[in-house]
């Protein structure tokens, strides 16, 4: 079964990479939706897991239903240590009326295809995108593109590029690919994510390389980091990256951030429209989200991404309250086709003008329609679906990107 899945996955990637752009634009969303339907039909029962452990505010119990793709990173922010986990049953996806009824736990999470998620109740529940994709518009002259980057990128990352004399070149050499995969990509994934690491297989990575290219970043004629990219329509996709031997000193010296600079500079100089930094978790304080945000990216969900995360609060315990307040997130409203940021506080009356200004600086992100602020009591009293938030901080649209970037560039993060 695994070999069949790997063959189908490989064929799928090859078809995406080799199809003409107009074909991808026209049919890719439908192909992805078909793939999700096939997945459901082949595995019609969603597994149910019970997770119990210590949250930051005390004991926490979570029931997790469905796919396991987002479970590792959600566990890492829900629990202080690995929780006790056991599979307790299965739920048929076609009986959504029974899918979540009577499930135990302070929090219930369902990770599934969006059409299924749409049929779940909304009271006390949030719908999060599976991932959000940060995309930087690189059209215009180079100085204009530079101005879209956060001040910290312009003054720190780009300073490191100049200080260490990094250069880059494009490679299509298979031997370079082998060296990159084993000595840069794999060690970096292991060093960055540890037990949560799920590196791409060498066969899959090689397909992207074959249909794309490898950036070699060098310092003093030594190859220090690499990035495999490919072209989708008129966007450069920054697929996988790595620093030689995951060397922490090289990372401090900017060998990793230079890879993003390389992709952005090359795409701009070669007349492409955008650089896609690839998916990041939908939490506003997550390290990867904050890092990719400061490159001036706009967050989006590609139309082919059909997975969602349904998160329902069943009991507001100290651990649940702490989780909500310490993990501001991105919520997807599929009906309005928009994303917005959600901040949860203990008491709305304690929100001051200074607090709102700090949130604007820290969380204003292109691609989000606004920042909504709710209180823990809204969850406790079941008010999430009954009325809108008492406090909304608007965000300039991408069509007004200059004002939005001016707000973003206040950020020191």
Beta carbons within 8 Å of 310's beta carbon, 6+ residues apart: 109, 110, 111, 112, 117, 120, 125, 126, 127
Q: Is pLDDT of 324 > 70?
A: yes
* Mean pLDDT confidence for 255-270: 96
Lowest mean pLDDT among 153-157, 196-200, 409-413: 409-413
Q: Are 251 and 243 in contact (CB under 8 A)?
A: yes
Residue 233 — very low, low, confident or very high, per pLDDT cuts 50/70/90? confident
pLDDT given for residue 393 in this prediction: 87
User: Whole-number mean pLDDT of the chain?
Assistant: 86
Q: Of 134, 133, 131, 65, whose CA–CA distance to 307 is shortest?
A: 131
Q: Are 299 and 330 in contact (CB under 8 A)?
A: yes
Predicted confidence (pLDDT) per residue in 292-322, tens digit: 999 999 999 987 777 899 999 999 999 999 9
Predicted confidence (pLDDT) per residue in 357-390, tens digit: 999 999 999 999 999 999 998 888 776 765 567 6
Distance CA 272, CA 218 (A): 24
Give phi and psi for 268, each to the nearest 5. -65, -45
pLDDT given for residue 66 in this prediction: 87
Helix, strand or coil, per DSSP, at residue 128? strand
Q: Which residue has the higher pLDDT, 173 or 336?
A: 173
* Mean pLDDT confidence for 65-83: 92
Beta carbons within 8 Å of 377's beta carbon, 6+ residues apart: 383
Distance CA 80, CA 323 (A): 11
Q: DSSP assignment, residue 280?
A: B
Give phi and psi for 184, each to the nearest 5. -125, -60
Predicted confidence (pLDDT) per residue in 131-180, tens digit: 999 999 999 999 999 999 999 899 898 899 999 999 999 999 999 999 99
pLDDT given for residue 238 in this prediction: 96
408: burial class by Cβ within 10 Å (0-12, 13-18, 19+)?
A: buried
Q: Which residue has the higher pLDDT, 258 or 380?
A: 258
Predicted confidence (pLDDT) per residue in 24-40, tens digit: 555 666 666 666 666 66
pTM: 0.84
Distance CA 219, CA 222 (A): 5
* Mean pLDDT confidence for 223-234: 94
DSSP one-letter string for 60-118: EEEEEEE-SSSHHHHHHHH-SSPPEEEEEEEEETT-HHHHSTT--SSEEEEEEEHHHHT
Three-point CA angle 341, 343, 349, nearest 5°:
135
Side-by-side strand order, sheet with 338-345 = 329-333, 338-345, 368-375, 391-394
Neighbours of 278 (CB within 10 A): 16
Complete domains list, the chain, with CATH: 2-42 (no CATH), 45-132+298-408 (no CATH), 133-278 (3.40.630.30)
Q: Which two tokens stand for residue 200?
A: 């791409």
Q: Is pLDDT of 102 > 90?
A: no
C-alpha dist (Å) from residue 344 to 106, 264, 411: 17, 35, 20
pLDDT given for residue 334 in this prediction: 77
Q: Any idea which residue has 């690839």 for tokens?
A: 278
Positions of E strands within 146-234: 167-171, 213-219, 222-232
Three-point CA angle 244, 295, 242, nearest 5°:
15
Q: Packing angle between helix 2-18 and helix 21-42, nearest 10 degrees? A: 160
Distance CA 323, CA 313 (A): 11
Q: Of 98, 21, 108, 39, whose CA–CA distance to 306 is shortest?
A: 39
pLDDT given for residue 413 in this prediction: 41
DSSP lists the bridge partners of residue 92 as 45
Residue 402 — very low, low, confident or very high, per pLDDT cuts 50/70/90? very low
Beta carbons within 8 Å of 238's beta carbon, 6+ residues apart: 227, 229, 259, 260, 263, 275, 276, 277, 278
């Amino acid at each position: 079964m695994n070999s069949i899945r790997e063959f189908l996955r490989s064929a799928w990637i090859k078809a995406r990479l080799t199809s003409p752009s107009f074909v991808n634009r026209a049919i890719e969303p439908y192909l992805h939706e078909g793939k999700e339907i096939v997945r459901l039909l082949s595995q019609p029962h969603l597994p149910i897991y019970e997770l119990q452990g210590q949250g930051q505010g005390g004991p926490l119990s979570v029931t997790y239903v469905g796919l396991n793709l987002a479970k590792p990173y959600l566990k890492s922010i829900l629990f202080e240590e690995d929780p006790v986990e056991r599979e307790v049953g299965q739920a048929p996806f076609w009986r959504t009326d029974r899918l979540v009824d009577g499930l135990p736990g302070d929090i219930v999470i369902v990770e599934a295809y969006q059409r299924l998620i749409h049929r779940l109740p909304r009271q006390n529940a949030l719908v999060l995108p599976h991932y959000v994709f940060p995309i930087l518009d690189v059209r215009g002259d180079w100085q204009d593109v530079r101005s879209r980057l956060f001040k910290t990128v312009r003054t720190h990352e780009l300073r490191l590029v100049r200080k260490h004399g990094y250069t880059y070149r494009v490679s299509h050499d298979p031997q370079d690919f082998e060296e990159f995969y084993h000595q840069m990509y794999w060690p970096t994934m292991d060093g960055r994510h540890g037990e949560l690491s799920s590196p791409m297989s060498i066969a899959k990575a090689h397909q992207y390389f074959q249909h794309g290219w490898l950036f070699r970043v060098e310092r003093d004629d030594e190859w220090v980091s690499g990035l495999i990219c490919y072209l989708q329509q008129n966007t450069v996709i920054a697929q996988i990256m790595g620093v030689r031997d995951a060397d922490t000193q090289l990372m401090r010296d900017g060998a990793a951030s230079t890879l993003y600079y390389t992709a952005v500079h090359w795409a701009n100089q070669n007349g492409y429209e955008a650089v896609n930094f690839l998916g990041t978790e939908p939490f506003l304080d997550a390290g990867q989200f904050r890092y990719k945000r400061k490159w001036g990216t706009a967050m989006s969900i590609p139309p082919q991404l059909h997975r969602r995360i349904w998160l329902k609060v069943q009991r507001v315990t100290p651990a649940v309250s702490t989780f909500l307040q310490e993990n501001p997130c991105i919520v997807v409203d599929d009906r309005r086709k928009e994303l917005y940021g959600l901040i949860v506080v203990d008491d709305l009356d304690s929100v001051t003008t200074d607090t709102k200004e700090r949130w604007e600086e820290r969380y204003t992100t292109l691609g989000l329609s606004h920042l909504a602020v709710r209180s823990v009591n809204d969850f406790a009293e079941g008010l999430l679906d009954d009325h809108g938030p008492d406090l909304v901080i608007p965000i300039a649209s991408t069509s007004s990107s200059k004002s939005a970037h001016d707000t973003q560039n206040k950020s020191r993060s």
